[in-house]
Amino acid sequence: MNDTRTAPAPFLDIVLPVYNEERILDHSVRTLHAYVKAHVPFSTRITIVDNASRDATRMIGAELAAALDGVRYVHLSEKGRGRALRAAWMASDARVLAYMDVDLSTRLDSLTALIVPIIAGGSDISIGSRLAPGALVTRSLRREVISRGYNLLLRAVLRTRFRDAQCGFKAIRAEVARGILPNVRDEGWFFDTELLVTAQRAGLRIYEVPVEWIEDTDSRVSILRTVVTDLRGVLRMLRTEPITNATLQIHAPLREIQ
């Protein structure tokens, strides 16, 4: 594995949460790595975060980290996508943190649109959106209906102003992440919603980027179980006191702290 301890801190850290992804991990990481080299104008690390995969993900991840410059592999022993994102973001020394699903369902050309508002200081969190005007989405009717229904519920019950809580394509200013993540409890799929609702309540700025999304039908999600845990999460958020920006102690936008 690459020794990144002595490497200079990158500007951007792109986290790839993975669970049993032996089939696509190598191809996706190489695709993203080549894309970053060709199109991303600031220093970037790719961090693969694996929770307890039971296939060859661990071996492939370690091989990729050894073979490719700026790629690292982290292994956690407990499952949970939220747990993986929190661990990777909290440990990162980068200024801007991102994550994306390893199936690269979101077209990579949206990456700059995600990062630029954060760098420019106009946004604290940027999120890919499949439900914003301009998005181009190919997915099953079942997933479309569940996604729209869930986001409408969030709007009605939690008064959310963003359109798509669950798109696996997000970025956040590192300082904001450090302030807000200790207040985000979910370790699984509700993590994204909890992060955004907490951020909105604290008055942070959430910027939505319409994305081109092509669903990869190979999924780790058990839809019924996720719907139930999401609804439980919504109820918990209804009972959670909002935290204020003052409590978070988030100050200057990135532009000013550079």
Residues that bind ligand GDP (CB under 6 A): 17-19, 21, 49-51, 79-81, 84, 101-103, 105, 168, 216, 219-221
Written as one letter, the residue type at 6 is: T
Characterize 177-198 residue by residue with b for buried, 16 or more Cβ atoms within 10 angstroms of its Cβ, and e for exposed.
bbbbbebbbbbbbbbbbbbbbb
Residue 103 among the catalytic residues: no
Task: Find the shortest distance in angstroms from Cβ 25 to ligand GDP.
Answer: 9
Strand order in the sheet with 96-100: 71-76, 44-51, 12-18, 96-100, 169-173, 125-129, 206-210
Structure tokens at 208: 């939505």
Q: How far is the CB of 149 from ligand GDP (least distance, A)?
A: 15
Residue 193 interacts with, from ligand GDP, Mg ion, none (CB under 5-8 Å by kind): none
Q: Which of 13, 103, 175, 186 contacts Mg ion by CB under 5 A?
A: 103
User: Which of 166, 136, 142 lies closest to 224, judged by CA?
Assistant: 142
| Residues comprising the chain, all counted | 258
Q: What number of other Cβ atoms are within 10 A of residue 229's Cβ?
A: 14
244 binds, among ligand GDP, Mg ion, none (CB under 5 to 8 A by kind): none
Q: Choose the one of Mg ion, ligand GDP, none that binds residue 51, judging by a C-beta under 5 to 8 angstroms depending on kind.
A: ligand GDP
17 binds, among Mg ion, ligand GDP, none (CB under 5 to 8 A by kind): ligand GDP
Which one from 101, 164, 186, 192 is the annotated catalytic residue? Answer: 192
Give the footprint of Mg ion on residues 211-250 (CB under 5 A): 216
Q: Which residues of 234-258 are buried (b: 16+ CB within 10 A; e: fewer)?
A: beebeeeeebebeebebeebbeeee
Residue with smaller CB distance to Mg ion, 147 or 198? 147
Count CA within 13 A, CB hemisphere, residue 239.
5
Q: Which is nearer to ligand GDP, 18 or 119 (CB)?
A: 18
- With binding defined as CB under 5 A, does residue 192 bind Mg ion? no
Closer to ligand GDP by Cβ: residue 103 or 208: 103
In DSSP terms, 210 is beta-bridged to 129
19 binds, among Mg ion, ligand GDP, none (CB under 5 to 8 A by kind): ligand GDP
Interface map 52-91 toward Mg ion (x if CB under 5 A): ----------------------------------------
Site residues for Mg ion per CB under 5 A = 101, 103, 216
Q: What are the catalytic residues?
A: 192
